[in-house]
Every structure is written in structure tokens, then in C-alpha cells.
Chain A
Amino acid sequence: MSVLEVKDLHVSVETEQGTKHILKGVNLSIKQGEIHAVMGPNGSGKSTLAYSIAGHPKYHVESGSVTLDGVEVLTMSVDARARAGIFLAMQYPVEIPGVRMADFLRTAKTVLDGEAPPLRPWLKEVSEAMKGLRMEKAFSERNVNEGFSGGEKKRHEILQLELLKPKFAILDETDSGLDVDALKIVSEGVNRAHAANDLGVLLITHYTRILRYIKPDFVHVFVDGRVAEEGGPELAERLENEGYDRFLDPASVA
């Protein structure tokens, strides 16, 4: 069974005001098949954690490690991390003009599998996955994320999750900007991928809303760049009722 392990991770970014330390010693261990929710107030470093694991060049790892089955991930290129089985569903997927979604999906599948998927079964799989996410067929003819609404972009992320079949998925605020119906559809997609591929999930969210549809095994409360408290699903319920106030420096709470 695969394990994704984050150990004492320190990460900074360069800003106009100088170097800003964001992650201050994060520890997390996710086994395949487990669903972990990382919750926290805005600016606590949740997204930085997601992008650091995926290898975004903007984030500078000061120290610590991220290993996948004992192999260091932080020294890998972005694409090598994806090929190793790590998937990041982005909060703001970018538009890529002129690149058709169908071509993009097949290209990604080909590099991840090391060979092109047989065409007919692949097209059928894509079509079924799109149906599951209530995406119009015509979507695959459109350019990647171009002109997609916020909700469509999120569905497209989950479509990729279902088709590319990673070992671990990091969902960066996938619930943001979704109405209830879209949230349900997207959550069902995540649950399908979880069940079908024994997916390990790191679900990053500000709100407890998505946890009604995706049931976490573990909840980590993220405050000021590190995990402040950990527990089971009951912790999410408590956050639902109490908010993040008790984790925050009283002086900073308005």
C-alpha cells in the first residue's frame, strides 16, 4: 500500500515585501484509500501545501521532505511527480488556448501510462466519465478550460482525476465557487475515483460543506502554516459549529 508522507515541511515564497515563510513544519501521512481533510482559515497555508507537493516553481522548500513510498518527491520535476502518482486538482485551472480537451486528456493519459490508450475503449471511458459529471459531449472539442465557467473548470479537474487514475489526489478548494448541485456532482466524481482506484485524498477546504458529500477519515486543522489539531470526522463537526476562532490568536480576531 502506498503512503504519501509530509515531514517537517517548511516553505517560503518571495513577495515584494521580501521572503515570506508560509509553511512552518507540516507533518502529514496519508495512506492510499484514506481521505484526509485539511481545513483552516484563509491565509493559513493550505494551498501552499498543495502547490508545494505538486512542485509549483513559485514555492521554495526551505527544509523537510515529502516522500511517496519512501522516495523523495521534492527533488522530482513537476511532471515526474504526476507520473509517480500525485494529482493536484487546482483551484484556478488555467486556460490553454488552441489545445483541445480531448487531445490534452489523451496526451496526459499516454505519458502517465507510458503508452497510448487503445482508442475505442478510451473514448468510451472518457464519454462515460463525462456523463457521470454531467458534462456535455461537445466539451471535449473545446480548448482546455477556455471559456469554461468556474463550475465547468472544477468538473474538468475531477474528470481528469477519474481518467488519469493517480494514487493520491490533492483537491485544492475544489468546492469553492460551486453551487449545491455542482458540489454534489463533483463530490460524486471524487467518491467514484476513491472507490475505483483506492485513491488517497488530501481534501483542502475552508468550509465543512463539502464534507457532507465526501466523508473524511481524518481531519487536520491548519493554522499559521502548521497542523494545529487533528482528529476524526467529529472535528469537522466541531469546526462547523465553532469556526476557527479558538485556534486564532485572540488579538487577531476582530
Chain B
Amino acid sequence: MSLLTPEQHGAKAHSDGGWDSNEGRVVPVQTRSGRFTSVNRDDFPEVTGLELEWKLTPVALVRTLIDGTLDGAPYEYTAADAAGATIGWVDRSDARVGRAGVPEERASANAWGAFQKALAITVTAEEHVDVIVSRSGLGAEPRAAHTIITAKPNSSATIILQSSGQATLSENVEIVVEDGASLTVVSVQEWADDALHLASHFATVGQNAKLKHVVVSLSGTVVRINPSVHLDGEGADGDLYGLYFADAGQHFEQRVYLHHVARNTKGRVNYKGALQGKGAHTVWVGDVLIGRDAAGTDSYEQNRNLVLSEGARADSIPNLEIETGEILGAGHASATGRFDDEQLFYLQARGISEEEARRLVVIGFLSEIVQRIGNTELETRLHKAIEKELERTAP
């Protein structure tokens, strides 16, 4: 619902109101930061599927996560002990809950109301530490979850959240990067084929702190991950990356919101996706808001999609709002296309078969994101997973 989305223009009233309209008097939301937020599900109107934030989502498939009763009990996870990082369940009343954000839509609020305990991951290590948290077999029953990741001042860590197996899950993930900390969060979705997963990630990045946030979605029926990142401290840095590979019948969606709040912040958003098979659908929305106090901002966002077969659809919508003129730079790019024939020709002219050339081009295309994760083990595993995706969907 940013200013720059075409739907905002024109005189006709939009139907996604209720909470922002009164007797037909529409009060348009002025900026991306002006959206209604609440932790109570019922403060949000019923979702019809026509709302801007839902219209590209197969709402009928995830209705239970938006409206239904969710099981918010703790679940099983595995995590290896790492020096300088702690992980465990904390109560809803914990002071850390709600530090990074508040739900902007109904499914998120539904999860917020339902979770019983939050999984808290806290990093104090100043020597970089890698923490891998895995969960599998959450079951088909609708669930809610809440995770809080806190990087203490000047700490440095990579947190990998790995999800597999069955799931019908709506969740919120809060990420707090305190002053001078450097945190990488990688959320890897390798769910069972029938999984439904809606997630909101909220992050706040402190002074001279750095967050690298990576979303990797490879399987599941519906996977929708919406990261909202606020560069709140002066000199904060946010790199938001994503890669997705959607097969026939899969819907992968990511609505990214990068908010430059403080001065001299730098943001990079880069999402890349491949689609193959009938009905493969991906959605990327990239909202960047450069606030009025964010002088010296340097921001760039892009999304690229590689459509490998007929019958797949990639939606790509960049939005950029700028409230101050004193910025270093701001730009966006979006491209969705088929194979680049010149790339294939180049490889084939070196003796590489067409099939192998296609494989190299797709893997290379997605590798650009994989290469940025910074954890060799995960990078190797993701390369293999992408190769498997390609084999699985090869024509």
C-alpha cells in the first residue's frame, strides 16, 4: 500500500479498508510506515483476498492460518551448543517480545495471539559464531510460533533457521541487532510438499550494526515470508537477500520492507528466483522507505526471476518512497525473463551441451545469492539442493 503502487492512484475507493475507512470516507495510508499494526487478530478485518497484501496469495489455502485456532505450544528443535550463544524457550511476558515489530496483517496477529512460549536465541559472542537451529515434523495441525533473535552489542553470529517436514504454520520472528553487532540470519524453507507457511520477520538494526537476512525457499505448497527491516541506528547496514525455486503448483511469496530510519544507513535488497512447471507462482514485493531523518542513505533493491517453462508466473513489484532529498543514492530494478540465449550460446560454443549449459546458467543465477551467505557448509548443501530441484523438474 505504498504511495507508489498504481492501485493507490486514481479516485476510485479501494475495498481493502474497514479499519482505515469510515462510512465510505477513505483515508489512504500515506506511507509504507503508516500501516495499521496490532497484536490482536480481530483488530484486523476479515481477509477477502482482494486486499493489496493478500491479492497475490492463494488465501483459500491458508485460511486456517489467518482465521483458525492455532496450537502455540513449544515444538521440538535441535541446535548444537555454541560458545557465546544461548537458545531456549521464554514466556510471552518476556521483555524481548515485541521489541522488533508488531503484526501488520491478520495471519501474523493470529500467530502472535496464539504462541505460548517464544524461542529466544541470544548472541553475545564477539568471535563470530554459527548457530544452526533445525525443526522438522511440526505436523499438519495448524500451529503458531514465535522466535526472538537478539545480537548483543558488538557480537557477531550467523543464525541458520532450517525448516523441513510437514507444517501448517503461521509465525513471527523478531530480530534485534544491537549497536555494533553483525548478524546474519538465514531462513531456509525445505518443507514437505504439502506444507503451508506464513511468516513475518521483524528486524531492528542499531547504530553501526549490520544485518544480513537471507530467505531461501525451495519447497512447500505455500511459503510466504515477509521481512520488515528497520535501520534504526545511525550507520546501520541491511543486506536482504532471497532465493527461491518454485516447482509446479508451488506458491512462494516474499514481501520485503526495508525502512531507512536513521542517517547514513545502507541497504541492499537482492532476491532471485527460478520457476519451473505449470502453476509455479512467485511473488516479490520490495518496499523501500527512506524516512525524513535518513539523510545520507544509500539504498538499492532488485529482483530477478528466471522462468524456465511455460505456465509459470512471477510477480515482481518494487516500490520506493523517499522522504528526504539528502541521500547518496536509491534505486531499484526488476527483471523477469527466460534463458538468456547469448549465455547458452557462449557455453555451448565451448563444447558444453545445451542441457548442461542450462543447468550451469540456472545454478549460476541462484548462486549469486548462495555465495553471499558466508557459511560454506550451508552453501554446499544449498548448491546440492538446487541441483536436485533442477533434476526433479527437468523437462
Contacts and interface: CB of A to CB of B under 8 A. Distances in A.
B141 to A, nearest CB: 39
Chain B contact-residue range equals: 20 to 34
27 contacts: A57-B345, A77-B348, A78-B354, A79-B349, A81-B349, A82-B350, A87-B349, A90-B346, A93-B346, A94-B342, A96-B360, A96-B361, A97-B364, A97-B368, A98-B365, A98-B367, A99-B363, A104-B347, A104-B350, A104-B360, A107-B356, A107-B360, A108-B352, A111-B350, A111-B356, A112-B350, A143-B368
Interface in A59-93: 77-79, 81-83, 87-88, 90, 93
A49 interface: no
Interface string A146-165: 00000000000000100010
B393 interface: no
B352 A97 contact: no
Contacts of A56: 345
A94 B343 contact: yes
A221 interface: no
B377 interface: no
A94 B346 CA distance: 7
Interface string B332-373: 000000001111011111111110110011011111101100
B12 to A, nearest CB: 39
A154 B367 CA distance: 25
Contacts of B357: 79
Given A96-B343, A98-B371, A78 B364 contact: no
Contact of A78 (B340, B343, B349, B366): B349
Given A79-B351, A108-B350, A111-B353, 19 more contacts: A78-B345, A78-B354, A82-B348, A82-B350, A82-B351, A93-B346, A94-B342, A97-B367, A98-B363, A98-B364, A98-B366, A98-B370, A99-B360, A99-B361, A107-B352, A111-B352, A111-B356, A112-B351, A164-B350
Contacts of A108: 347, 350-352
Contacts of B368: 97-98, 143
Contacts of A88: 349
Contacts of A54: 349
Interface in B81-129: none
A87 B343 CA distance: 16
**Considering the complex of A and B, which 7 residue pairs feature the smallest CB-CB distances, nearest first?**
A98-B364, A98-B367, A82-B351, A99-B364, A78-B348, A108-B350, A79-B348
B214 to A, nearest CB: 15
Chain A contact-residue range equals: 20 to 34
B346 A96 contact: yes
A79 B152 CA distance: 54
Nearest to A79: B348
Contacts of B346: 90, 93-94, 96, 144
A33 B219 CA distance: 54
A77 B354 contact: yes
B194 to A, nearest CB: 31
A97 B354 CA distance: 17
Interface string A96-115: 11110000100110011000
A112 B350 CA distance: 8
Contacts of A78: 345, 348-349, 354
A94 B340 contact: yes
Nearest to B347: A96
A111 B354 contact: no
Given A77-B354, A107-B356, A96 B364 contact: yes
Nearest to B367: A98
Contacts of A87: 349
A247 B252 CA distance: 61
Contacts of A57: 341, 345
Contacts of B370: 98
A109 B348 CA distance: 12
Contact of A143 (B351, B354, B356, B364): B364
Nearest to A51: B345
Nearest to A95: B343
Nearest to B355: A79
B245 to A, nearest CB: 14
Nearest to B350: A108
Contacts of A144: 346, 364
Contacts of A99: 360-361, 363-364, 367
A106 to B, nearest CB: 11
Contacts of B363: 98-99
B351 A83 contact: yes
A108 B364 CA distance: 15
B367 to A, nearest CB: 3
Nearest to B342: A94
A159 to B, nearest CB: 12
Contacts of A143: 364, 368
